[in-house]
Amino acid sequence: MSEEQSYEDPILAVLIVGGGLGGLMLGAILESADIPYHILERSTEARPLGSVISMSGNILPVFEQLGIYDELKKRAKRHSQADFYDTNLNKLGTIQMKGLKKVMGKKVLRTREQGDRVTVFCSDNTSYDCSILVGADGVYSAVRQNMHKKLEEEGKLPLCDDEDFSIGFINMVGVSSPPNPERFPEFKDDRAHFRMTIGDDNATSYATTVPDNQICWGLQLQLDSTQAKQQHFRNSEWGPEAIDTMLKDFEDFPCPFGGTMKELFDSTPKNLISKIFLEEKVFRTWYHGRTVLIGDACHKLLPGAGQGAIMAMKDAVVLSNYLFNMKDYSLKSIQDVFANYYKQRYQEAVIQQKNGANASKILIGQRWSDKLLRYVMLKYTPYWLMEKQQEKDFAFRPQINWLPLATPRGSGKVLPQVGREEAAAKRAEANPI
């Protein structure tokens, strides 16, 4: 495609800002439906964030539908439990768990909606026209900021959407390749081993084995309310020097697999280390005009429940299902699509925000109430109760409506697909026998 691209498709044209998991998933789904789309990504190169991502049964069926499930399995390990230790590596307890088209280097500055088109202006003086703009550009989404600015000018922006994110933790993550893999017998297991070391004050570390004799690790620092407010004004300090300082400060912290974190720090390439805020917020406004948000751009969750990436991909599935059934690209049709998408996704986002916050308290919280909750959870919560909660969380498994459904795995309840009959009727109309 040319740098100056105007979409003239008579049915639909979608511009996706953000080439993360949510944006790429949406692009892959639209590709399967022959819906024209384009992805703009700010980064100039593909770089691992330096973390581990958990994929569960409520999104894996989509990978099966797209024909990439087997490839995903080759690059992952099954995960069935999380083990908790104190700083002396005494075990505290266990939680059981069962059950594209892209342009890089495109930083979006502003957007403009006129008539039946949205124009996106980038920092390199290029612009793109589209019928539908999807903001999949993360927690500090430029698409959301432009949309909210317009809403504020119209007096329609809810006060809660103008409030800051709630910051609870600072997180540093990395991917290590230990020079002596034989020291880690966990590598020999086909399943992933996830372990956490909980400090006595505000620090917690975790490590999990992944394929190719690598260890994904993380270090979290819990902030009090005063520290959290201060961090909103200290983003400029988050350069390489800040990362080096944090690595130095915690190199003697116990590693969950034995020894200290220094061994993992030293065997991690600097480009695979990231320092981020662990923030949370569910925005009230997800769409306006011809613009809609998915993923962290509209709901940022704490990572305790492992649902952040999955929620972004589920957004992509639900949104694409409604886009496929859309009658035309008039503003009314687009607004109906966005309203139905929001109706199906907002409540789950609110629920998962609470789940993520509660799970994070159990996993890495250091306040006395967090420690008490963790003790009760590890010592007295029956497995059947946790299994029941997992079955509830996994019941909503949206799939792509115009592709054959993946066969449900396990015995848990699966909620019915929304809009599948309409998609089948539209496909039949487009391809008469």
Cβ atoms of residues 360 and 303 within 8 Å: yes
Q: What is the mean pLDDT of residues 423-429?
A: 72
The residue assigned the tokens 């080096």 is 244
Q: Which of 12-21, 27-36, 279-288 has the lowest mean pLDDT?
A: 12-21
Lowest mean pLDDT among 43-57, 174-188, 295-309, 363-377: 43-57
Please give the structure tokens belonging to residue 89: 């590596």
Residue 106 has pLDDT above 50, yes or no: yes
Contact status, residue 35 vs residue 12, Cβ threshold 8 Å: yes
Selected residue with higher pLDDT from 337 and 356 = 337
The whole-number pLDDT of residue 263 equals: 95
Across the chain, mean pLDDT equals 85
Alpha carbons within 13 A on the beta-carbon side of 264: 34
CB atoms within 10 A of CB 43: 13
Helices (H), 33-177: 60-65, 69-74, 142-153
**Contacts (Cβ under 8 Å, ≥6 apart) of 176:** 214, 215, 216, 217, 264, 265, 267, 268
The confidence score (pLDDT) of residue 47 equals 67
Neighbour-count burial for 352-378, b at 16+ CB within 10 Å, e otherwise? bbebbbbbbbbbbbbeeebeeebeebe
pLDDT band (50, 70, 90) for residue 407: confident
Residue 323 has pLDDT above 70, yes or no: yes
What tens digit of pLDDT does each residue of 119-177 get? 999 999 999 999 999 999 998 899 999 999 999 999 999 999 998 887 778 888 999 99
What pLDDT does residue 233 have?
Answer: 47
Rounded CA separation 69/322 (Å): 24
Predicted confidence band at 100 (pLDDT cuts at 50, 70, 90)? Answer: very low
pLDDT category, 12, cuts 50, 70, 90?
Answer: very low
Instruction: Tell which CATH classification among 3.90.1640.10, 3.40.720.10, 3.50.50.60, 3.90.1150.10 matches the domain 5-164+280-430.
Output: 3.50.50.60
Contact 283, 293 (CB under 8 A): yes
Of 84-88, 114-118, 226-230, highest mean pLDDT: 114-118
Q: Is the pLDDT reported for residue 245 higher than 90?
A: no
Is residue 337 within 8 Å of 322, Cβ to Cβ?
yes
Average pLDDT over residues 203-231: 83
E runs forming strands in 251-319 = 273-282, 287-288, 291-293, 299-300
- The predicted pLDDT at position 4 comes to 43
* Residue 394 scores a pLDDT above 80: no
| 3 state SS of 204 | strand
Q: Bigger pLDDT: 155 or 376?
A: 155
Tokens of 297: 């751009």
**pLDDT, position 5:** 43
Query: pLDDT tens across 279-318, in order?
Result: 899 999 999 999 999 999 999 998 887 888 999 999 999 9
Who has greater pLDDT, 415 or 47?
A: 415
- Specify the residue for token string 């789940």: 355
Q: Looking at residue 99, what is its pLDDT?
A: 46
Side chain identity at 50, as an amino acid letter? G
Look at residue 421 in the predicted model and tell me its pLDDT. Answer: 80
Q: Give me the pLDDT at residue 312, please.
A: 95
pLDDT at 86: 82
CA of residue 82 relative to chain centroid, distance: 20
What CA dihedral angle connects 314, 320, 321 and 324, to 10 degrees?
-170
Residue, of 273 and 12, whose pLDDT is higher: 273
**What band does 415 get if pLDDT is binned at 50, 70 and 90?**
confident
pLDDT at 98: 53
Q: What is the pLDDT of residue 349?
A: 95
**Whole-angstrom Cα distance, residue 371 to residue 381?**
15
pLDDT of residue 288: 97
Mean pLDDT for the stretch of residues 99-121: 82
Are residues 276 and 174 in contact, defined by beta-carbon separation less than 8 angstroms? no
DSSP character for 260? Answer: B
Is the per-residue pLDDT at 17 higher than 90?
A: yes
pLDDT at 250 over 60: yes
**H or E element that contains 279:** strand 273-282
How far out from the chain centre does Cα 159 lie?
A: 25
d(CA 301, CA 351): 10
Amino acid 237: pLDDT: 42
Residue 431 has a pLDDT of 63
Q: What's the confidence (pLDDT) of residue 236?
A: 39
What is the structure's pLDDT at 39? 93
Lowest mean pLDDT segment, chosen from 98-112, 260-274, 321-335, 404-418 = 98-112
Query: Domain extents for the chain?
Result: 5-164+280-430
